[in-house]
Structure 1
């Protein structure tokens, strides 16, 4: 369907698809009794295979035909199931460690063009000014029309220090833009922090990687070294997710031990699981030190605001949902992406794999986030004039899974239920009026949502100090 996002992924990065929540590396085994094979359908498949082998205009290798058949089976299930060739599988494994090569763009395919969902902070794309909503119609001298998403990925990939020219259509620009990017090995710093002002700390999580939980604890300790905190902001905006155990670890840094963080449910017994704020779940059976033991005691009680928006997906939604259900934090911002499904990565021969949706996940109270998202306790748009651009959400993706608790919501239900954005005001002459919020510097003075979060925390502090 025209205008809909057909597939989503991280182009030129090799990183986990933007809305993944879980990587469960496990071998495929006969855990269930195999049902009878569909003989008639397989006979039809064999006839088509034979017709191509004999009559197609050019010879085609058997391996290529089978690979494409597997890819087609998976891609037609839902937006997040996929076949991973050797390169994609390697990139996926490397990406979860926080280091990968490419441009740093989260993208999808729309109307035959590559659509930018979001540039990743501190990457070539981000620094060059690539924006969410940009449509890439040419890569160097190659038109994107006619290329698959996978083909576009390969065009964007390359050795570090090599260049690629992107030809871009941008809303509001009369002429196409040409941006030249230099590929590089990207090391994503998944956690950043700062003291916004005395007594008020800020922690931003940009993605959930293997060491994200430990990094959050380290940044908490750094903030408390500056003195007592009266309030803390946890920023999960534009965080596409990542590893499930990392989400459990970040939640455990703010919740009492053994608290339920999330649960999953699917058809197999392995897919039915509850995840608690315990070392077994956030360390995933590893031999690493239990970093949660280093959490400052004050961090479990400090008043908190969690900032979210339409770019907050999967692991971000797990954390926001857990802190919301346990009333540990006020959730502020706009409706989240709504990606509530679990992908298991199943290795195959030849260093390939399949990424298969195996379960849905739920908040501690049993809410399903799939195709719905987390509704903020307080809706605050990204700018005083409203959201600066329309975001794509899970419900906009073709073949998305329905929400099994509330049914499939209408598309309008995924939008924040706040007052309609005001009409744009005349430019006041200040630079920040024209800033696109996803590109604003984290914790910058022009960050409207952060300002509202700090104001709320100050109000809570005043109320606590009243006799």
Structure 2
């Protein structure tokens, strides 16, 4: 049996893609986005054709051709048959027609037209995994777990992901209506959105207060690792060249480029296994190893996740958790641990097919389980209780001054809102870890 291939991390050369990005692809080799020859046989000498089933197929095909109320051409029937073979396997396998294949390639580069919304399927309807930051979907208030029950006048009942994407894609500036069923809202409601050209910036950072940084990765793109290193340098530069703690926010991160996710993980690890995949074919078995050198030099790290954290973001969280490099805080992640490979066909079409599962360094499969946080923090709103007005020393007439300058308070816009409960809890935890470390 062929040994699994090990992927050394060349930090800025993406070669494998991981989930989300509208089609919820978890892992697909970038080289597979161009036509290639398969290095395994399409048939086996021991394989026997299921003749009875093929006869049934031929009979159904002929009856549709003869008796269906409208005439159907051979191409349509055969493409429907191919589509049915793949969609019947699992929610993430599918048949990509030329437009869908083109959109998939565009989306992995971080620029595509549409709404900026990551979707899956639940109970026969289209489910929102997460909106992408600063897109029409996020600006319209679309939330993770929302069910899209209609797109314009089309019901999404039993609609495939590819069909839903086709309906939601369109020219920038055009509008469409989504009918949303939200658990907290009771009755369905409509949202009108204007399509836009989606150019996503995957990494943003900010110094929350002295010594403590915040870095958010909204999805994993080819340059995410490079942007992460740049963001860390900017955080350090704004805090006299060092940090005492970092919050890495992967909430509502639907995935993206697997190589980039591994490279981001490598930034925080000082060596060791990041992730490995296993499938039926030898070339689906891969290992990603981190190189020596932790860019943060071991300072405390808290990773925020929630139910919208899927695929590649689960790889990062799982690896950091297994290596005990960071504390995972929030709620359980989405749980998509299957690997899809895109196999281009000769006619600008492609098969997107589940070929493997991925595993964390300690051998955990995340499929349908997700990453469980070390510290569960459910999103909540903080309502401060006003303290009754009492006289203090500074209120007394003629009080003595301290003789010290009043510290200048920085007034900067935060990437997170002041009442973002998980971020505040993560910040408090980082401070506690530093205090504990200083007193040991």
TM > 0.5 between the two?
Answer: yes
Q: Does structure 1 residue 49 correspond to structure 2 residue 22?
A: no
User: Residue 6 of structure 2 corresponds to which residue in structure 1?
Assistant: none
> Given that residues 25 and 346 in structure 1 are in contact (C-alpha distance below 8 angstroms), is that contact kept between their aligned partners in structure 2?
no
User: Residue 313 of structure 1 corresponds to which residue in structure 2?
Assistant: 310
Change (3 A) 1:371 1:28: farther
User: Residue 439 of structure 2 corresponds to which residue in structure 1?
Assistant: 466
TM-score by length of 1: 0.76
Change (3 A) 1:21 1:155: same
Q: Does structure 1 residue 326 correspond to structure 2 residue 323?
A: yes
Given candidates 27, 40, 50, the residue that maps to 1:31 is 40
Change (3 A) 1:28 1:54: farther
- Number of positions where the alignment pairs a residue of Structure 1 with one of Structure 2: 387
5+ residue gaps, structure 2, are 1-18, 387-413
> Given that residues 211 and 244 in structure 2 are in contact (C-alpha distance below 8 angstroms), is that contact kept between their aligned partners in structure 1?
yes
User: Residue 177 of structure 1 corresponds to which residue in structure 2?
Assistant: 189
Q: Does structure 1 residue 239 correspond to structure 2 residue 253?
A: yes
Q: Which has the larger radius of gyration?
A: 2
Q: Does structure 1 residue 381 correspond to structure 2 residue 378?
A: yes
User: Residue 450 of structure 1 corresponds to which residue in structure 2?
Assistant: 423
> Given that residues 300 and 430 in structure 2 are in contact (C-alpha distance below 8 angstroms), is that contact kept between their aligned partners in structure 1?
yes
Q: d(CA) in 1 for partners of 2:321 and 2:93?
A: 29
Change (3 A) 1:352 1:324: same
> Given that residues 23 and 243 in structure 1 are in contact (C-alpha distance below 8 angstroms), is that contact kept between their aligned partners in structure 2?
no
Deviation by residue 1:131-164 (Cα, 9 ceiling, x = unmatched)? 3344444444455558655444333221111122
Q: d(CA) in 2 for partners of 1:429 and 1:460?
A: 27
Q: d(CA) in 1 for partners of 2:315 and 2:157?
A: 37
User: Residue 6 of structure 1 corresponds to which residue in structure 2?
Assistant: none
Q: d(CA) in 1 for partners of 2:150 and 2:171?
A: 20
SS in 2 for 1:339: coil
Q: Does structure 1 residue 229 correspond to structure 2 residue 243?
A: yes
Q: d(CA) in 2 for partners of 1:42 and 1:184?
A: 46
Cα deviation for residue 25 of structure 1 reads: 3.8
Q: d(CA) in 1 for partners of 2:435 and 2:159?
A: 58
Change (3 A) 1:137 1:268: closer
Q: Does structure 1 residue 20 correspond to structure 2 residue 26?
A: yes
User: Residue 251 of structure 1 corresponds to which residue in structure 2?
Assistant: 265
Q: Does structure 1 residue 341 correspond to structure 2 residue 350?
A: no
Q: Does structure 1 residue 265 correspond to structure 2 residue 271?
A: no
SS in 2 for 1:367: coil
5+ residue gaps, structure 1, are 1-8, 279-291, 386-426, 431-440
Q: d(CA) in 1 for partners of 2:110 and 2:341?
A: 19
Q: d(CA) in 2 for partners of 1:51 and 1:30?
A: 38
Cα deviation for residue 444 of structure 1 reads: 2.2
Q: d(CA) in 2 for partners of 1:240 and 1:147?
A: 21
Change (3 A) 1:354 1:167: same
Cα deviation for residue 318 of structure 1 reads: 0.8
Q: Name segments (4+ residues, structure 1) moved above 6 Å.
A: 427-430
